[in-house]
Amino acid sequence: MRFVRFNWIILILIYLIVVAGSLVRITGSGMGCPDWPKCFGQWVPPTELSELPADYREAYLLKREKKVEKFCRFLNLLGMHETAVRIQSNPDVYVEEAFNAQKTWTEYLNRVVGFAAGNAMLIAFVWMLIVYRKRKFVLLMLLNLVLMGVEGWFGSIVVATNLVPWTITVHLFLALVIIGIQLYLVYSMGSGSKTIIVLNRSMRIILWLILLITFYQMFLGTQVRESIDLLVKQGYSRTQWMDKIGIEFLIHRSFSWLVLFLLGWMFWKNERTQKYAIIRWTFIILALELVSGVLLAYVDMPGLVRTSHLIFASVLFGILLYTGFKVKKNPA
């Protein structure tokens, strides 16, 4: 069915946003474009400093200050007064980086992928309205389309606040919610809803427990990464990180071993009885994620390992959620 295949393509594009966002983070390109949705006021960004006016940093800093002021007013309306004060009083928010063509184009490509995913989702929504008109799917697609718009808007806030840590966490949360809804759509509309996985009660509980821990682990990993970035700014070396990071890293590492144990048990049970391929692949993805995590923690590896770690975690989350949709009770 072409419509279902098109929604799978949308899911892939959403995952590409996560990948592109991670590349932006590891290359420090988050401020490569100081404005949004355009980049230096252009739909196609500049490649040379000479293409920008001499006072571009002052001009975009003024725009940033106005956007931060508006966002803080919004936070005050929500009752988040202390958060608004912290943002407005944070000097890092008002630092305008010098033009760097490589960082600019890295951030621009991130936006292009987001633009492609958002428009593909809009096409799917219109397609559903015209051809199928199934109320539940229409509402879910509309919700995901709105969330995609919110995600794009919040991306502008992440840029305006100069990558304030908690905004990055919210950005990731919205991405995972969008992935979850899109997975449910492709499952419900496609053949996935016709093929089931039969597990007993203990296996089902463990599956959902692993999913919840993985979901939490992704946010905890973001906190660990933010702590490391702060330590790097303060001049600490890799050998000093472990003593300085704090309890977040210990919890993150301990939960990783817990997930390995639980999923390893599921894998062992699966290989002895049902031999579902999706559970086998889930264990393989987890193993790859843990290897990348060990390399990040204990070996001086290039930044692409960070991207791999996030990719494996995001794919693991997706596979676990999709498996959860397909699981049914053991009739025995």
Q: Specify the pTM.
A: 0.83
Residues 37 and 183 in one domain: yes
Tell me the β-bridge partners of 197: 327
Q: Report percent pLDDT > 90 for the chain.
A: 17
Final residue belonging to a domain, choices 194, 229, 260: 194
Domain extent at residue 221:
196-332
Tens of pLDDT along 53-82? 888 888 887 877 787 888 888 888 888 888
User: Rg (Cα) of the chain, in Å, rounded?
Assistant: 22
Domain identity same for 210 and 189: no
Same domain, yes or no: 56 and 1: yes
Domain end residue (candidates: 171, 194, 217): 194
Which of 151, 172, 194 finishes a domain? 194
**pLDDT digit string, tens, across residues 236-290:** 766 666 667 777 777 877 888 888 899 889 889 888 887 888 888 888 888 888 8
Residue ranges of the alpha helices (H) in 234-276?
A: 238-244, 247-272
Q: What are the pLDDT digits (tens) for 158-209?
A: 766 766 667 777 888 888 999 999 999 999 887 555 667 888 888 888 899 9
Q: Do 28 and 161 lie in a common domain? A: yes
Give the DSSP per-residue string, 27-84.
TT-TTSSSSSSSBTTBSS--SSGGGS-TTHHHHHHHHHHHHHHHHHHHHHHTT-HHHH
Asked whether residue 190 falls in the same domain as residue 203, the answer is no
pLDDT for res 15:
92
Q: CB under 8 Å, gap of 24 or more: what pairs does 314-318 form?
A: 314/15, 314/18, 314/176, 314/179, 314/218, 315/15, 315/285, 316/214, 316/282, 316/285, 316/286, 316/289, 317/176, 317/179, 317/211, 317/214, 317/215, 317/218, 318/15, 318/179, 318/183
Same domain as 171, residue 247: no
Per-residue pLDDT of 291-300, as tens digits, reads 877 777 666 5
Domain count, the chain: 2
Q: Note whether 308 and 233 are same-domain residues.
A: yes
Alpha carbon distance 204, 330 (integer Å): 10
**Which runs of E-coded beta strand occur in the chain?**
197-199, 327-329
Residue 42: strand pairing partners: 39
How high is the pLDDT of residue 131? 83
> Mutual orientation of helices 101-127 and 135-160 as an angle, nearest 10°?
160
Residue 55 makes CB contacts below 8 A (sequence gap 6+) with none
